[in-house]
Amino acid sequence: MKDLNELLATVSQLFDQANHTAAPAGLYDPIEYTMHLGGKRLRPALLMAACEMFGGEAEQAANAAMGIEMFHNYTLLHDDLMDQSPLRRGKPTVYRKWNSNTAILSGDTMFALAWRYMLQSRCQRLSEVLSCFCNTAIEVVEGQQLDMDFERTAKVPIADYMEMIRLKTAVLLACALKVGALHTNASAADVERLYGVGIHCGLAFQLQDDLLDVYGDVAVFGKQTGQDIIDRKKTYMVLRAMELLPPDEAASLETMYAEPCIDAAGKVARVKEVYDRLDLRTVVAEAVDREFEIATAELDAIAVPESNKSTMRELVKSLVGRKK
């Protein structure tokens, strides 16, 4: 079994060698550009680690790994257009570098190519793979729709927010793990446990992301602190703060948060002051821990030798930024 470094090297190699250049260039150049923007290749790594955990070889799952990353990048491409985001991984987004129509059509092609990769999986349990992938694809767009809906919703209950991030973020991580496991003869029960690992890691990952937007180290995290506040984005941070505050203070946070951002630094500082007062950093870190612990418990319960779990444990920890 590969250790984490070997696994990540296998994933890197797979994507370094991939080439999606084809005609018409107007369609495939943006795909090749997108697939070589880099990124952590988290989903293919999870997929391959799952395959190895149950005694398979990462390489067997190469097509599915490409497919899941292709799908993920397709969602980013369309999301960037819908959100009008200028940059992705420090480079111009496709709709900026080319145009909106290119982003739509190249994205559509990537979704179809993701299916082609999935169909090419050499896998005994292909129908389960395809059905999981299809359900996940539908859930991810539902999550994106909820996220857009929340922008226009004054009060979003925490439970609805959790459902949104489950759909938008967690199910794809869970799908990657499940599809990797389906490349082996893992039992149905273990496959479902691993799916649960993905869901709770995904939730932890997203809550952590919301936390780091306010309290992250810019040098490490790579984003400007408080960007979600500037963008007036509904996050776990602001929703949790509203829940913890007495009604009148919640109302004034809501007003403050909804303000058009003229003095960005000032607004971030004022919102952060409220968060500090509520010790939201600790509150949210605890929520991250809870999800991470559920994920760990699911992983513990999977019926393979502990030695088979070591790479997966490391990967899962790195996902939520744990050193140990």
CB closer to its own copies, 145 vs 185: 145
Q: Is 122 in the site for its own copies (CB under 8 A)?
A: no
Q: How far is 174 from 6, CA to CA, in rounded Å? A: 22
Map residue 74 onto helix, strand or coil. Answer: helix
User: In whole angstroms, how close is the CB of 43 to its own copies at the nearest point?
Assistant: 17
Site string for its own copies, 77-116 (x = CB under 8 A): -x--xx-----------------xx--xx-xxx-xxx-xx
Distance CA 80, CA 67 (A): 20
Closest to its own copies by CB, 7 or 118: 118
Q: Which token pair is 195? A: 């799916």
State how far the Cα of 50 lies from the Cα of 312, in Å rounded to an integer: 7
Compute the least distance from the CB of residue 273 to its own copies, in Å: 34
Q: Are residues 113 and 22 in contact, defined by beta-carbon separation less than 8 angstroms?
A: no
**β-pair partners for 92:** 87
How near is the Cβ of 164 to its own copies at its closest, in Å? Answer: 10
Binding mask of the shown chain, residues 149 to 188, with x at each position contacting its own copies by CB under 8 A:
x---------------------------------------
Among 9, 87, 148, 269, binds its own copies (CB under 8 A): 148
Three-class SS state of 91: strand
Q: How far is it, in rounded angstroms, from Cα 10 to Cα 48?
A: 9
Pick the closest to residue 212 from 165, 275, 262 (CA basis): 275
| Subset of residues 15 to 44 that bind its own copies, contact rule: CB under 8 A | 23-24, 26-27
Is 138 an interacting residue with respect to its own copies (CB under 8 A)?
yes
**Taking contact as CB under 8 A, which single stretch among the options 85-93, 123-131, 179-187, 282-290 is the one that binds its own copies?**
123-131
Write the burial class of residue 283 (CB in 10 Å: 0-12 exposed, 13-18 middle, 19+ buried). Answer: middle
* Choices 129-137, 185-193, 226-234, 272-280; region in contact with its own copies by CB under 8 A: 129-137
Which one of 139-147, 252-260, 262-270, 309-317 is the stretch in contact with its own copies (CB under 8 A)? 139-147
Closest to 123 measured CA to CA, from 177, 63, 70, 46? 63
Dihedral of alpha carbons 278, 281, 284, 286, sign: negative
Summarize as ranges the residues that interact with its own copies (CB under 8 A): 23-24, 26-27, 78, 81-82, 100-101, 104-105, 107-109, 111-113, 115-116, 119, 126-127, 130-131, 134-135, 137-138, 141-142, 144-146, 148-149
